[in-house]
Structure 1
Amino acid sequence: MRALISIVFALFMLAACQSAPIGSSPMEPATAQNPAMIQAGAQPGVADPGSLDDYKLGSGDKLRVIVFEEEGLTGEFQVDGSGLVSMPLIGEIRAAGQTVRQFEVSVADALRGAYLRDPRVSAEVLDFRPYYILGEVNRPGTYPYISGLTVFNAVATAEGFTYRANQRHVYIRRAGENEEQRHPLNSTIQVNPGDTIRIGERIF
């Protein structure tokens, strides 16, 4: 009888393990983990700049400009420190402060009439301008932007916090703004191209 009870109990435990989702124990529902996992992976508030129609170009952005059926006018161009792009025939075109679509229109307008009757222009951002991280990190400096970048990613790239770092708040000056803003330091704070991040010193 005791052997029969042991066999039944073993079969019950085996069935419970097989029905439990991967990553959870039989005693812990999978739904208990899901909210934390979703929250950790979510990065609300700012989308990848590469997918934003209203992303404003700035100095340091690298563009690919295609003028259809005009290979001599097609190429890769850098937005210089003055916010201009120097292109064949038409010279300097302002890019800073414009969206990619607005820049396309500017290039087409400059080409229309004098050079081409009906120019068709397409542009895309190849590389976004860098961001800057200052203050209480081990390697402050300028770093290339990557899509989906968060403040924690930026700190990790700068080899982490110093022992003096205030890990409760971060100061960010967004590109094009004159004043930095203080934010609670958490995993949802995203970095945009051209931003300046400052990690302050904690009060001992």
Structure 2
Amino acid sequence: MTSSLRTLAGLVLAATTLCACFSPVPQPQARPLPDNPRAQPAATPKTVVPANPLDASVYRLDGGDVVRIDVLGEPELSLDALIDPSGFINYPFLGKVQASGLTVRQLEGKVRDGLRSGFLVNPDVRVALARYRPVYIGGQVRQPGAYPYALDLNVERALTLAGGLTAFASSSRIYIQRHWAGEQGRTRAELQSPVYPGDYIIVEERLF
């Protein structure tokens, strides 16, 4: 009887131990994954449409440009004015007026304000661009120099103005030096690259 009790107690202990072995182990809670920026839908880039750089609302005046200034009812104040290399025009009553870096509308306001200060009560001033500053062509061209700017001018037409390329010119080493419309520095140009007022086209010698 005692032996049977010991056997039964042993079976109970073994069963208890076995159940403990198969008890469910608590699992750690899953942490939310951090946002993956690569998984986010890419933002659609906005299309930037460049403004016409020769539009009167954005074109910046500089030395060599000629502006037409008209004052209603004041013929002695209506004239063409050349912007000098330092960026100024000479204007009656006002003397030297800075024009470089301004649009024609800004220059118009500047002249109007100047005339209103002690000369005219309510001047009606209109300013327009009469002639663009020239382009400059140098390097391996037959006739280097300054040439009048014309609308829709490109590198190929500009080189024709300069008499074409010399025998030593490289058609693949043509550059435009530009300090205008927010652009500065020298960039490589193709024959169909647009040319703007004040551009300096440089044709380098070909490598033998």
TM score, norm. by length of structure 2: 0.70
Name the residue aligned to 1:164: 168
TM score, norm. by length of structure 1: 0.71
2:185 equivalent to 1:179: yes
The runs of 5 or more residues in structure 1 that have no matched partner are 1-44
Mapped to 2, the partners of 1:69 and 1:132 lie a distance apart of 39
Name the residue aligned to 1:115: 119
1:60/1:53 CA distance change after superposition, 3 Å = same
When the two chains are superposed, the root-mean-square deviation of aligned CA atoms in Å is: 1.8
Amino acid at match of 1:113: S
1:131/1:156 CA distance change after superposition, 3 Å = same
Mapped to 2, the partners of 1:70 and 1:82 lie a distance apart of 28
Q: Which moved more, 1:129-138 or 1:113-122?
A: 113-122
2:99 equivalent to 1:99: no
CA drift of 1:113 comes to 3.1
CA drift of 1:198 comes to 0.3
Retained in 2: the 8 A contact 1:136–1:200? yes
Deviations 1:86-140 (A, max 9, x none): 1111111110111111100110111113111222211111111111111111111
Tell me, what secondary structure is at the counterpart of 2:146?
A: strand
Q: Map 1:41-190 to 2 at 5 A.
A: 47=52, 49=54, 51-176=55-180, 179-183=185-189, 185-187=190-192, 189-190=193-194
Name the residue aligned to 1:35: none
Q: Quick one: higher RCO (CA 8 Å, sep 6+), 1 or 2?
A: 1
Largest Rg, 1 or 2? 2
Amino acid at match of 1:182: R
Deviations 1:141-192 (A, max 9, x none): 1111111111101101111111222112421111346522223x132x1111
Deviations 1:13-59 (A, max 9, x none): xxxxxxxxxxxxxxxxxxxxxxxxxxxxxxxx78472x442111111
More strand by share: 2
The runs of 5 or more residues in structure 2 that have no matched partner are 1-49
2:205 equivalent to 1:192: no
More helix by share: 1
- Matched pairs, number: 157
